[in-house]
Structure 1
Amino acid sequence: MTTAEAVKTNTVEEQAKRAKKAAKNLSILTTEEKNEALRTVADALETGYESIISANLIDLKNGEEKGFEQAFMDRLSLNKERIFDFAEGLRQVAELPDPIGDVMSRWTLDNGLKVEEVRVPLGVIGMIYEARPNVTADAAGLALKSGNAIVLKGGSSALNSNKAIVEIIHKALEETRIPKNAVQFIDTVNREATKQLFTMKEHIDVLIPRGGASLIKAVVENATVPVLETGVGNCHIYVDSDADAEKAINILINAKTDRPAVCNAAETLIVHEAWLNQHKELLAESLKKHGITVHGDESAAAALPDVKPATESDWANEYLSLDLAVKTVKDLEEAIDHIDQYGTKHSEAIITENADTAKKFMQLTDAAALYHNASTRFTDGGALGFGAEIGISTQKLHARGPMGLPALTTRKYLMSGNGQIR
């Protein structure tokens, strides 16, 4: 490690210490003080959008020179509309109920000791993410509203965009009661700095990775700090034999094409063979119209034109493009077995008019979000009324699904007595 790299690595620890100190001050602010700060930041982001776009253009140029895939470039790209969208997301977070201080339960023991279970902030959140600069604003807003400081480590591909966003956030926070040190940004591409973040248990209370499978795996396998694990989205649409054709195709096309490069986009169509045989012409026409490339099994290839033979990797692939794997099945059980084998426990949907079949699918399918006759694109904090989201958890401990404000809290037991001893 060079001397300059060592200095940067030491700076990460100093940033974490500043965040920890700021978290103490942040935890006692009122709801209105936090809300006003978020509104101030939102206004500043809109006012300064041109500087963010200028920085983003540098990142996009670098991405083009490095030959990044189109899906990656889409996640990296910012424009005025996207910047105003995440600014509006901060305002929505400001309008949400503040979970801090909520009494989750209370009771009195036989000896008169009063007990309250109360929501409190996690403390300091370490956020490691790739490509999406909007995560910088979303994560900061959710952390601050829930009383947490945050240390942000974005991917090198979005370094200039993220720095521009954080500079605006810091300047705006100087006009509020929230200390600007509550938002720290690690502005180095040094991998050692990231690894250091994995192990600073004395300063960081929880790590949240958000990005591709390799990033999430690296954090989960190497971190000694507790991890709130987010997951990639190999999402399935199962079209049952009792599915309404128009409804099924509309949902499939939306889930696949609305934004193909996001984690809640559908990657695999599982289709009952009877439905496929009956509606293959309509399905083929819709797939062709929307430029979808099909990777299918033998039955799909026999029913649909221009099908590429599916390999084992196609069933597990998160394409993030207009590619779609198509698997034909004989019944619901076979569909669920396929999801169990290849799904990532993110979002799964069944399209059927049979209520009993839908109920069985909902009961037996293991995923953070399940849909009956609706698109998987709703697995999103904003779409579900959380304001912004800090990520979508596919694990089962602490939080699952889109993580809004309550997921960024823990609990504390407060006891009040009158001299009781045990």
Structure 2
Amino acid sequence: MEDMVTEILVRLPVKSLLRFKPACRAWQAIIDDPVFIRAHLRRSASRWEQSHSFIINPHSMVRVPWDRWPVPSNRYRFHQWQLQRGTTTTSPRNNNVATFLHAKDLSDDQQFYTTEFTHRDGLVFSTTTTSLHVFNPATRDAITLPTSSRSNLMGGGRFNYHCSGLGLDPRTGMYKVVQAFFRFQSMEPAETKMGMEVFTIGGGGGGAGWREITSDPPYPAKRFQIGVSVCGYMFWRFSERHTKLERGILHLSLEEEEFGITGLPDELDTDNSFLLDELLGRDLCVSASNTSCTMLNIWTLPVADESLCTLWQWRYCIDYPWSLCSVMALPPFSDEIILLRGNNICRYDLATSKLKILCRLDRTRYQGEGARKSELFSAMPFIESLVRITY
């Protein structure tokens, strides 16, 4: 009987499961079981392949005394947008509404504003100019990580840069936040040394707090970036002053907490800009325009829990006469190439070589937002989950 109940519950969305938990102690025990949480996450991931879902944060722009231009406010407003099959730019089929998920207002502290986001297993990791945050928009849980005494990647004025990231340790099943700090800074690139530290979410007890990683990166990472997390590894770009020393990207094994270098595709001209993305947490993706900015090349690197493959696969070269964009999905996880270009989620049809806009983020109606106008948007693929976040 319990197996039958579990099989039914694992198919339900998070919102329904949260509503059912207080109704029955037996159901609550099932839903809170880590084994059930992972099974529900796997089903959510497989469901994403059939019906793509995206999380969007429309940033309100505010003026602050220390900045010349308006900056993103520190109020988080997470919405979910679902891709409906058959959507086109001329026939949206009522697909221009994003459902409200969660809001978190941090405006009591005017010393910071939001900067970057990333997503992993239903968790959203965000950096601000002074702090790091982890959210589960589906369960509406959120934590602000404690400040580290080692954090010293200073930006302009009173604010910090953050070279950080969120990923899953496949051995323990725990999520780790990693951030970098300088051990020693010098005008000479070869003399600058960087270290990193880790915060284990749900570490509890004496395990809570920032812990220094014993080994150091071979070269410093770029100090303003969020790492890309894939299958137990986290990837960052090296600082601009060190890219001439090493043609690759920095990786960290979250299980072993050891650093290494992953080579880039041989065909990639590293003098040109390129972007790193993750595809449904399984593959690392590099996208880069050609020299004339008329084509977009896309490579993927399969990443397994057991080892890190170094054989890049050149996947696509598409007509794309614009600036760089983020790759959100590729076949076989999608029927087409899904891209984020500016404020537009787009679909590149491989059969017709045409780019179509699926969602105009600045024209989407955001549930509960009223007439509020946003100028800047963060958007990424989203898989809802029951993953808990605690100190």
Return the TM-score normalized by structure 1. 0.23
The higher radius of gyration belongs to 1
Return the TM-score normalized by structure 2. 0.25
Instruction: Considering fraction of residues, name the structure with more strand.
Output: 2
Instruction: Considering fraction of residues, name the structure with more helix.
Output: 1
